[in-house]
Amino acid sequence: ENLRIGFVGLGHMGGPMAANLAKSGYEVVGFDLAPAALEQARRDGITIADSANDAAAGADVVVTMLPSGKHVLDLYAGGLLAAATPGTLFIDSSTIDVADARAAHDLAVAAGHRSVDAPVSGGVVGATAGTLAFMVGGSDEDFESARPLLDVMGRKVVHCGGPGVGQAAKICNNMILGVSMIAISEAFVLGEKLGLSNQALFDVASNASGQCWALSTNCPVPGPVPTSPANNDYQPGFAAALMDKDLGLAANALRSNGVPGELGLRAAEIYSRFHQETGGGLDFSAIVTDIRNRANE
Ligand code: NAD
């Protein structure tokens, strides 16, 4: 199809996502504030606009991949929506607060546009390979319009519900992941203290009721799962800084919706501290080293 796509935010994720759209034949007009991102995008076949608003002007679809809800709302209110032809489909793939996603949707609709929230999991590896998982919130009709593009950038696309519900799915899933990684890590360190080897605990728990992704795929101790980041000095993977961010969004949603999520709130505190103390660049499974260090204090 000869759709023109405006793409704003060509960073670690947005850059390769936009490149995949261009590679598959879409006309992609992109913008980012960082000159290095623009240079790479140009090499990837993306036409560079002079501003975000220029990227949206004349586009059929506008995709945003930005750091936070504030960035999305500031751009939407700051002229991006006004620059687009009425009826344009806005796809925000940033991970943002559910309330911000709903506010962004309302702004888009008030400006005569259509919109879905479509956050992703799969990281830079998935963005590059075009194998991201998309969690989408919006109407059936808008979801169907977005789907062909999401299929280019991803492998799994799930329509989760109405506006903001894609973001809800993302933070609920990552809250499960953060809490379960801490639980698995505490169990390994306790096992070490009790004379239980990492391998033996893995052999038991991965075949029993303790089984989960944090154990059987992203195992936080080196050895049992050779492909887990623990075997590679905890190079991400999924950086602790991003887990901190996502748990912060989950904690915010727990509080504002009156849900007594004691473990989710505690996990947010634990990853916030770990992020501050380490810089957040390691894979989130490195939390096991923090627990071990504290055990030896
Ligand atoms: P990034 O910082 O690499 O990219 C964001 C880009 O947005 C930057 O290049 C920045 O210059 C640009 N930007 C900021 N304000 C702008 C503006 N006003 N106009 C134009 N460009 C602007 O971040 P990322 O890793 O690509 O992540 C993007 C989003 O995806 C975040 O919400 C993140 O939480 C989410 N996410 C990231 C990963 C990951 O593994 N990196 C995985 C899943 C989801």
Query: For residue 264, what are its two tokens?
Result: 């989710």
CA angle 70, 76, 82 (to 5 degrees): 165
Q: Is the CB of 33 under 6 A from ligand 1?
A: yes
Q: Which residue's alpha carbon is at the smallest distance from atom 40 of ligand 1?
A: 123
Q: What percent of the chain has pLDDT over 70?
A: 99
Instruction: Name the pairing type of β-strands 154-161 and 114-117.
Output: unpaired
Query: For residue 6, what are its two tokens?
Result: 């405006």
Going from N- to C-terminal start, the domains of the chain cover 4-161, 168-295
Query: In this predicted structure, what is the pLDDT of residue 250?
Result: 98
The residue from 23, 70, 170, 193 that is catalytic is 170
Query: In this predicted structure, what is the pLDDT of residue 214?
Result: 97
Fold of 4-161: Rossmann fold (3.40.50)
Q: Is the CB of 123 under 6 A from ligand 1?
A: yes
DSSP 248: H
Cα–Cα nearest to 97, from 70, 133, 116: 70
pLDDT of 236-258, one tens digit each?
999 999 999 999 999 999 999 99
Distance CA 207, CA 205 (A): 5
170 is catalytic: yes
Q: Which residue's alpha carbon is at the smallest distance from atom 41 of ligand 1?
A: 123
pLDDT > 70? residue 1: no
pLDDT of 217-239, one tens digit each?
999 999 999 999 999 999 999 99
- Which segments of 194-295 does DSSP mark as H helices, in order? 198-205, 213-216, 240-256, 262-278, 287-295
Q: Is the CB of 36 under 6 A from ligand 1?
A: no
Spatial neighbors of 69 by CB under 8 A, at least 6 apart, are 94, 96, 97, 99, 100, 101, 103, 104
Q: Which residue's alpha carbon is at the smallest distance from atom 30 of ligand 1?
A: 94
Q: Tell which wins on pLDDT, 109 or 297.
A: 109
Residue 43: count other Cβ atoms within 10 Å of its Cβ.
9
Q: Is the dihedral of CA 60, 117, 152, 8 positive or negative?
A: positive
pLDDT of 197-211, one tens digit each?
999 999 999 999 999
Q: Is the CB of 94 under 6 A from ligand 1?
A: yes
Q: Is the CB of 52 under 6 A from ligand 1?
A: yes
pLDDT (average), residues 94-111: 98
* Ligand 1 mean position, distance from CA 9 (Å): 6
Q: Which residue's alpha carbon is at the smallest distance from atom 4 of ligand 1?
A: 11
Distance CA 211, CA 45 (A): 44
Please compute, for residue 162, the number of CA atoms within 13 A of its CA located in the half-sphere on the CB side.
Answer: 4
Q: Which residue's alpha carbon is at the smallest distance from atom 42 of ligand 1?
A: 123
pLDDT (average), residues 3-26: 98
Could you tell me how many helices (H) and strands (E) the chain has, helices first? 14, 9
Which architecture does CATH list for 168-295?
Orthogonal Bundle (1.10)
Query: In this predicted structure, what is the pLDDT of residue 48?
Result: 98
- Cis-peptide into 9, omega within 30 deg: no
pLDDT > 90? residue 174: yes
Q: Work out which ligand 1 atom sits closest to the CA atom of 31.
A: 20
- ipTM summary value: 0.99
Please compute, for residue 234, the number of CA atoms within 13 A of its CA located in the half-sphere on the CB side.
Answer: 16
Q: Is the CB of 32 under 6 A from ligand 1?
A: yes
CA distances from residue 297 to 96, 152, 289 in whole angstroms, order as listed: 37, 50, 12
Q: How confident is the model at residue 296 (pLDDT cuts 50, 70, 90)?
A: confident
Which of 63, 66, 120, 153 should be mutated for ligand 1, with most atoms under 8 A from CB? 66
Q: Work out which ligand 1 atom sits closest to the CA atom of 68.
A: 32
Query: For residue 249, what are its two tokens?
Result: 């969004």
CA angle 234, 283, 216 (to 5 degrees): 85
Distance CA 280, CA 243 (A): 9
Q: Is the CB of 13 under 6 A from ligand 1?
A: yes
Scan for tokens 């195992």, then name that residue.
Answer: 219
Q: How confident is the model at residue 2 (pLDDT cuts 50, 70, 90)?
A: confident
The overall average pLDDT reported for the chain is 97
Helix (H, G, I), strand (E, B) or coil at 75: helix
| C-alpha Rg value of the chain to the nearest Å | 20
Q: What percent of the chain has pLDDT over 90?
A: 98
